[in-house]
Amino acid sequence: MATSPVTVLPTTIGWQWLKAHERLVMLALVLAVSTFGISKYFDVDAARKDARVVAAEQIVTNDQKNSAALAFQTAQATAALQAEVQADRALVSSLAASVAARNTGLTTQQHKDSFASMADILGRWAELVPAAKFDGSPVTANNGIDINLANARATVIELEKVPVLTQNLVDETSIVSRTQDELDGTIKVNTDLNAQITGLNKNLTDSANACKVEIAAVKADARKSKMKFFKWGFITGFVSGLYLGHAAGL
């Protein structure tokens, strides 16, 4: 009696092949899962570092804006100081010339007073001391007044100093005030310059950190790209191997 041929279903063949290559399949699955996990890790790592690059670049941009604002503020303060210095120098020069002119006038007037007549002394006395009263006839028959001429001259010579010294004091006070303003402006410029230097140093530090972060991000992107190619190469090679092995009856 003839033996009926046994028909082997493709499903049975595939299952037999799977059992025969169980370790290979398990290894392939483990590698596939590992590759997928590593790829995801590199993706997340690259995304994080890209975010750090954006944040670092924003910090650098803010630092640059801050440095520009500080530089503008310093330039304004410097310009204001220069204008103040020029104005102060002009004022000091003018006041010094006024002081010198008054001192010269004082010397001239004192010399004139030393040879003045009684009537001239009396008139000058009245100018220097408005509160003095010379009613009636203060000059006597012998060309005198209630005080002698020597005392009158000494009094007038001394009184000549009063208006000059008073005005000199006003001008000297103004000079001191202007000098103080100039000093305050100089201090402000120095403060602004120090702030600008601090801002520039921070800008340099943040720029250096941004470069480091950007380099790390570039490396992460490179690893991500390599892993992507490796993953697809592995999948392609594995599928091709399965197909060729199946075709060869392995």
pLDDT, tens only, 163-174:
898 899 889 888
The predicted pLDDT at position 38 comes to 77
Residue 1: pLDDT above 50? Answer: no
73-87, 95-109, 192-206, 219-233, range with the lowest pLDDT: 219-233
Residue 227: pLDDT above 80? Answer: no
* In contact, 35 and 231? CB cutoff 8 Å: yes
The closest alpha carbon to 242, from 31, 19, 28, 30, belongs to 28
Residue 101: pLDDT above 90? Answer: yes
DSSP 131: T
Residue 143: pLDDT above 70? Answer: no
Q: Tokens 């040879």 map to which residue?
A: 115
Q: Who has greater pLDDT, 236 or 195?
A: 195
Taking each helix axis from N to C end, the angle separating 149-159 and 22-113, rounded to the nearest 10 degrees, works out to: 160
Task: State the amino acid at position 37 in one-letter form.
Answer: G
* In contact, 199 and 59? CB cutoff 8 Å: no
User: Mean pLDDT across the chain, nearest whole number?
Assistant: 76
Top-tier CATH class for 33-247? mainly alpha
Q: Does pTM top 0.85 for this prediction?
A: no
65: three-class secondary structure by DSSP: helix
CB atoms within 10 A of CB 40: 11
- Ordered by start, the domain boundaries in the chain are 33-247
103-107, 123-127, 137-141, range with the lowest pLDDT: 137-141
